[in-house]
Structure 1
Amino acid sequence: MTLILRRGDLEPLVDMRATIEAVDAAMGDVARGTAVQPAPALMRLPGSDSGFLPMAAASQRAGLAAVKLLADVPANAEHGLPTQRSSIVLVSTDTGEVLAVLDGAIPTRIRTAAATAVATRHLARPGSTTLGLVGAGALAVAHVTAMLEVLPIATVHFWTRSRATAHGFQKAIEQHGLKVRLLESPHAVAQSVDVLCTLTPAVEPVVHGASFVPGLHVNAVGARPRPDHREVDTEAILRSRVFVDSLPTVRQKSGDIVIPVNEGALRFDDLEGELGSVIAGLHPGRKSEDDITLFKSVGLGLQDLAIGRLLVDAALATGRGVHVDLRS
C-alpha cells in the first residue's frame, strides 16, 4: 500500500529539531559513501521559460530511494499561482515498493531552513547571537525557527521591500521573544549581524560582498536553481570561503557560482568543497574568528528523502494520510 500525504496532512507533523538532525546525517552520509546524490538535469521545452527538475537520491540509512519533481513556472505569478510546485515519491530500497507520495511544498520549505541551520552549525561562530534576513516571507519564518535550534539567537535584523510582508513576518515570529528590527537596506543588515541569510527569488544580486564584515557567515538560499540567477555578487563569493551542498549540482544550476566562473573571476576548484565533508570530519570548516564563510544552498533530493522518511514515520504513527493500492 502507498501512503498519500497532502499538504494539510504534513503541516502538523513538522518537527524542526528532528529535521535538522536528519538533514545533518544525510549530508554527512554522502561524504561517508552511504548515500547517493546524483546531479539533477533541468528539463526545458523549446520556447518555454518553465523548468522541470527531477531530484533523485538513495539512502542506506533511510532505506529509501526517492525523487522529487520540481516544476519551476515563473509565468504562474501573473495568474496568482505558485511559481514552484513539487511532489515527492519514496520507494523502499528493499522491495522497490512505492511507500509514499507527498506534496512537496512543506518538505521543501522545512528542508531548506534545516539545511541552512546545519551549515550554520558547522560554519558560523558558535556564540553568534544576531541573525540577518534579506527577505521576509514564509521561508524567513522557517529560518528563524531553525536557527534557534543551533545558535543562541537573541536579535533578528531583516529587510524586505514590502511593509505588509514585514508586518506579517514580525507577527509570525513574535512568540520567540526576539528583538526584531526592520532595516533600510540589505547592506545595513549585512553590516550588523553575525549570520546572514539571503532568501529572495532574485535574478540580479541584492547582497554585495563589499557589505561583508570579518567573522560573518552567509547562507545564500533564495535564488532559483538556474545558472543565470543569483542573489550575491562576485565580490561576495571571492571574499568568502565557499561551501556548497553538492558540487555537481552547483556546477549546473547555481548562478551565484556559475556567473563568477564564467566571468573568469573564480574556478570551481577554488570552492572549499561540500558541506557533507565538513560534517563527516573530512574537511575543515571555519578556521578563525575572522573567516567569512558562505554556504551556497541549491537543495538536494537527499534532503527531501531524509525529511520524507521523518514525515512518513510520523504520519503512520498518528494515522494521517490515505493508503492507496497502486496495483489495483
Structure 2
Amino acid sequence: MLVLHEGETAQALKWAELIDAIERMFRSSCVMPVRHHHDVAVPGEANATLLLMPAWVPGDYIGVKLVSVFPDNHLRGLPAIFGSYILSSGKTGKMLAVVDGGELTARRTAATSALAAKYLAREDASDLLVVGTGRLSLNLIQAHSAVRPIGRISIWGRNPANAEKTAEDARALGFAVSVSTDLESAVRTADIISCATLSHEPLVHGAWLKPGAHLDLIGAFKPTMRESDDEAVRRASVFVDTRAGAMSEAGDILQPLKAGIITEADIRADLFDLAVARHAGRTSAEEITLFKSVGAALEDLAGAILAYETAMEPFARQEA
C-alpha cells in the first residue's frame, strides 16, 4: 500500500493536472453520498467531530476522507484538525493508498476555485486579490495563475503582518505580490477576488465590484458565516460547486435566500452544469460573476486518484 505524506502529496498534485482531473470527475459517473458528521465525546473537554466524506466511480476507485476536529487540542500543542484520505480499488476493494488529507484538501479546494474561474472569470483577467492569509492563500495564487494570465497579485488580511508573511512566501515562489491595507480599494480594481476566511460578517461589498469582476468565495463554510453582502449576490450571476452543498451549508447563499434577496432559481449553474456545457458560464465582458464553494467529496477523490497514479508512474515504467 502506498503512503503519501504532505510533501509527497503536494509533489504529485501539479496544478494544471489537478484542475483537469477535477473537471473530468464532475463529468463522470461519480457517486457522492452526503457527508457524515458525528459528535465524539472527549471526557473533560469540548466534544470532537468526526467527518467522513465518501465517493466512488463504479468499477474504478473508491475513496473516503476521514477528518477529526478536536477543538481543545491547542491545550496540548496539537493542531485541531487531522485528516487522511483512503483510496481503494473499485473492482476488488483492495486498499491502494493513504494520502495526506490536509494537503489534498487545500490543493483540491484551490483547484476547484480555479476550475470555476476558467468558466467564469474574464479570459484577460490579470489582477488577483486574495482575501485571507491562511494556508489556502498561497494555493489560490498558484491555482488561479494556472488558468488566467495573472500579473498583479495583492493580499489583504486583518493582520497586516500575516499578510506580509504570506506575500513573502509567494514572492519566494516567483510571484509578484503586494500587501493591501485598504480592502475596498483593492476590490474595486481586482479582476478576481478570492476569499478564504472564517468571517461571520461580510467583507466584500457588492458596491465595490467593478463590471467584469469575478468573486470567488470559499472560506465561510457554515450557514452563519459569510464573506459577501446582499448587494454582491444581487448584482452578480451566482454559481456554486454543488447545489446540495450550497443549499445546506453556504451562508453567502442561504442568508440572502432567507431575506428574499434571491431565489433558488437565481443560482445559474453548478460545476456539474459547467463541466458538461449545460451552461456556458460567463456570457459577457461586463457580467459580474460569483462562485460559492463548500467542497465536495468527488474533488477529494479526483485528487487522490491523481496523486496515486502519479506516484505509481515510475513503478509502472519499470515493469514495462
Q: Please, what TM-score do these two structures have when normalized by structure 2? A: 0.89
1:56 aligned onto 2:54: yes
**For the aligned residues, what is the CA RMSD?**
2.3
Where in structure 2 are the equivalents of 1:78-117 lying within 5 Å?
A: 80-117=77-114
On the 8 A contact 2:83/2:100 being kept in 1, the answer is yes
For 1:45 and 1:137, locate their aligned partners in 2 and report how far apart those are by CA, in whole Å. 27
On the 8 A contact 1:134/1:200 being kept in 2, the answer is yes
On the 8 A contact 1:59/1:302 being kept in 2, the answer is no
For 1:106-138, what per-residue CA distance to the aligned partner results, in whole angstroms no more than 9, with x for missing partners?
111110111111011111100111001111233
Of residues 295, 299, 317 in structure 2, which corresponds to 1:299? 295
For 1:198-233, what per-residue CA distance to the aligned partner results, in whole angstroms no more than 9, with x for missing partners?
01122222222222121110110112x322122222
Alpha-carbon shift at residue 51 of structure 1 (Å) = 3.9
Alpha-carbon shift at residue 241 of structure 1 (Å) = 1.0
Residue 208 and residue 85 in structure 1: after superposition, are their counterparts in 2 closer, same or farther (change >3 A)? farther
For 1:9 and 1:74, locate their aligned partners in 2 and report how far apart those are by CA, in whole Å. 28
For 1:199 and 1:41, locate their aligned partners in 2 and report how far apart those are by CA, in whole Å. 23
For 1:246-305, what per-residue CA distance to the aligned partner results, in whole angstroms no more than 9, with x for missing partners?
111111211221222223333223211212211211112111111111111111111111
Residue 23 and residue 162 in structure 1: after superposition, are their counterparts in 2 closer, same or farther (change >3 A)? same
SS in 1 for 2:83: strand
1:283 aligned onto 2:279: yes
| Equivalent in the alignment of 1:261 | 257
Of residues 290, 297, 310 in structure 1, which corresponds to 2:306? 310
The runs of 5 or more residues in structure 1 that have no matched partner are 320-328
SS in 2 for 1:35: coil
For 1:74 and 1:268, locate their aligned partners in 2 and report how far apart those are by CA, in whole Å. 34
For 2:7 and 2:130, locate their aligned partners in 1 and report how far apart those are by CA, in whole Å. 27
Alpha-carbon shift at residue 165 of structure 1 (Å) = 1.8
On the 8 A contact 1:35/1:57 being kept in 2, the answer is yes
Alpha-carbon shift at residue 172 of structure 1 (Å) = 1.7
Of residues 22, 36, 39 in structure 1, which corresponds to 2:34? 39
SS in 2 for 1:65: strand
Please, which moves more after superposition, 233-242 or 282-291? 233-242
| Equivalent in the alignment of 2:318 | none
SS in 2 for 1:128: coil
SS in 2 for 1:20: helix
In structure 2, give the amino acid aligned to 1:243: F
SS in 1 for 2:150: coil
On the 8 A contact 2:10/2:104 being kept in 1, the answer is no
Residue 72 and residue 210 in structure 1: after superposition, are their counterparts in 2 closer, same or farther (change >3 A)? farther
For 2:258 and 2:60, locate their aligned partners in 1 and report how far apart those are by CA, in whole Å. 39
Residue 318 and residue 172 in structure 1: after superposition, are their counterparts in 2 closer, same or farther (change >3 A)? farther
On the 8 A contact 1:40/1:249 being kept in 2, the answer is no
Please, which moves more after superposition, 43-52 or 278-287? 43-52
For 2:68 and 2:188, locate their aligned partners in 1 and report how far apart those are by CA, in whole Å. 35
On the 8 A contact 2:170/2:177 being kept in 1, the answer is no
In structure 2, give the amino acid aligned to 1:107: L
| Equivalent in the alignment of 2:14 | 15
Q: Please, what TM-score do these two structures have when normalized by structure 1? A: 0.87
SS in 2 for 1:202: coil
Number of positions where the alignment pairs a residue of Structure 1 with one of Structure 2: 312
Give the number of the structure with larger relative contact order, counting CA–CA contacts within 8 Å between residues 6 or more apart. 1
| Equivalent in the alignment of 1:194 | 191
On the 8 A contact 2:237/2:287 being kept in 1, the answer is yes
SS in 1 for 2:26: helix
In structure 2, give the amino acid aligned to 1:211: W
Where in structure 2 are the equivalents of 1:97-176 lying within 5 Å?
A: 97-175=94-172
For 2:200 and 2:75, locate their aligned partners in 1 and report how far apart those are by CA, in whole Å. 17
The runs of 5 or more residues in structure 2 that have no matched partner are 316-320
SS in 1 for 2:197: coil
In structure 1, give the amino acid aligned to 2:188: Q
| Equivalent in the alignment of 1:326 | none
On the 8 A contact 2:40/2:50 being kept in 1, the answer is no
In structure 1, give the amino acid aligned to 2:24: A
Alpha-carbon shift at residue 79 of structure 1 (Å) = 5.7
On the 8 A contact 2:2/2:96 being kept in 1, the answer is yes
